[in-house]
Structure 1
C-alpha cells in the first residue's frame, strides 16, 4: 500500500515522487505493450470503446437487438435450407424459422421494427428442387464436372 501524502507537500510533487520511485524499483518494466504504440491513439473514441475492444480481444461480437438477430437468423436458415440434404429437412428448417418470425410479429421484438414475413415453404422447396433436380445435393465432384462451382442463392 502506498504511503499517505505528507502534509504541506503539493500533490503533484508527491505523485511524481511515487511514480519515480516505482520506476526505479522496476515496477513498470515488462508491462504488456511496452515499446509499442498505444492502440487507437489519435482516433476518436465512442462511449463504448472499452467494451468493443474487450469483445474483439475475446473474439466475440456485439449482440444484435432481437429484431436484427432474427433477420440475420432468417437469412442463415434460408441459406442452410437451400443446401439441405432432403426436402423434409428444407421443410423443417423453414417451418422452424417461420414460427420464430410469427412469434416476433405477434409479440414484437426490441430494436427496429420486425419487417420480416414468414417464408412460403413451397417456394423455398421449389428453389431447393431447382438446385437439386434429382432430389439430393450434388457432391463437390459433380458440381466441378458441371462447372457449377459458383455458389447459388
Structure 2
C-alpha cells in the first residue's frame, strides 16, 4: 500500500480486492472500435458516434452538397404541400439559397462546387402529376376496400347481406 494513495486509487484497489471487477462482460477482449484500421483513419471515433447515435450529418456538409442532396428529393418531398403557390415558394427559396451559395468565395485550389437551380415550372408540373397519381391510387384503394366490404361474408354493410343473415337466423329459429 502506497502511503500517498489518492482516495480514487484506494477505492479502485478496495473494489479489486472485493472482486467487483471479476467476470465483467468483455473481460480480456479487445475494445470495440479500436484496431489496426483505426490507425489509418483519425476520425474513427466520430464516424462510430454518428453511426451509433444515428445522427443526421447534413448540417456538417458543405452547403453546395447539402443543396444538391435537397434538389434530389424534389418533387417527392413537396407532395405534402397543398397549393401550387406553396410549392413555388419552396422552389424559389431553394433557387435563392443556391444563388447565395454561389456568391461564397472559393477556398483552396479546387474549383468551387456549384449546386444547380431548379426549373420552377417544370417542377410544379411534376408535382401536379405526382399529386394526381397519388389521388388516383387513393381512389382505387378506396374502391377496392368498398368492393371487398360488399363481397366479403359477415361484412354486414350491405342491405342484401343483412337480409340474407336475418333470413338464415329466422330459419334457424324455425320462423320462416
TM-score (norm 2): 0.53
Pair 1:28-2:30 in alignment:
no
Rg: which structure is higher? 2
Asked if the contact 1:85–1:137 (Cα under 8 Å) also holds between the matched residues in 2, the reply is no
List gaps (5 residues or longer) in structure 2: 6-11, 144-176
Aligned partners of 2:106, 2:140: CA distance in 1, in Å?
41
Specify the alignment match of 2:51 in structure 1: 56
CA distance in 2, matches of 1:142, 1:53: 46
Pick from 73, 98, 102 the counterpart of residue 101 of structure 1. 98
Going from structure 1 to structure 2, the CA distance change for 1:3 and 1:61 (only over 3 Å counts) comes to: farther
C-alpha contact 1:82 1:127 (8 A) present in aligned 2: no
CA offset digits 1:66-92 (Å, max 9, x no partner) = 221221223235432255322112101
Partner of 1:118: 117
SS state at 2:93 partner: helix
Q: Per chain length, whose mean CA-contact separation is higher, i.e. which structure has more relative contact order (CA < 8 Å, sep 6+)?
A: 1
CA contact (8 A) 2:68 2:116 kept: no
5+ residue gaps, structure 1, are: 6-18, 147-153
* TM-score, normalised with respect to structure 1: 0.59
Q: CA deviation at 1:114?
A: 2.8
**Equivalent position of 1:68 in the other structure:** 65
1:51, distance to aligned residue in structure 2 (A): 1.9
Bigger fraction of residues in helix: 2
Kindly provide the CA deviation profile for residues 108-150 of structure 1, in whole angstroms up to 9, marking residues without a partner as x: 57697333221111111121223345xx96276326469xxxx
CA contact (8 A) 1:101 1:116 kept: yes
